[in-house]
Amino acid sequence: MLEYKVFSEEHTKPYVLLLHGIGGSANIFFPQIKEYKKHFNVVALHLRGHKGSPSVYSNSSSFSFKEAANDIIEVMDQLRIKKAHFVGVSLGTVIIHQLLSMAPNRVETAVLGGAITKVNLISRLLLAFGKLAKNVMPYLWLYSLFARVLMPRKNH
């Protein structure tokens, strides 16, 4: 099961689930959580391969966005959340998109920041490089390098 943290649990408030990007964690939402807690029960998730969640290689099948969406549904089921609002960044947007196609009845609304519409050759090469380099290069260097490649201009 994915690692997650619930902020505020009032039965009268709707839920919002926060999904981070690749190489990140739910910590990127720290500045927003204080405000969200005023209006929502907030669930900050760590996706597969991030923080204390299972590795993307933890089962025999290869990782897929469908599997990632099922991870989210599993957390929702455990917390007895029938329907929620979603906020996603980068990879989180891809998983929310998958959720919308698999289980649209579980999504109240969705906010997609830095949405990825497809995984192209450059994305695949970066992921392969990241997989090789993550054990020898400091995380922050790798993350900064990827950000520079994907968002080279100052206005990004």
Half-sphere exposure at residue 28, Cβ-oriented, CA atoms within 13 angstroms: 19
At residue 66, the pLDDT reads 92
Mean pLDDT by 10 residues, the chain (156 residues): 91 95 86 94 92 78 85 97 95 93 97 77 78 77 71 63
pLDDT at 154: 67
Quote the pLDDT of residue 60: 58
pLDDT score of 122:
75
Tell which CATH classification among 3.40.50.1820, 3.40.190.150, 3.40.50.1110, 3.40.1670.10 matches the domain 3-117: 3.40.50.1820
Going 67 to 135 to 147 to 51, the CA torsion angle's sign is positive
Per-residue CA distances from 7 to 40, 43, 113, 116, 132 (Å)? 9, 6, 21, 27, 35
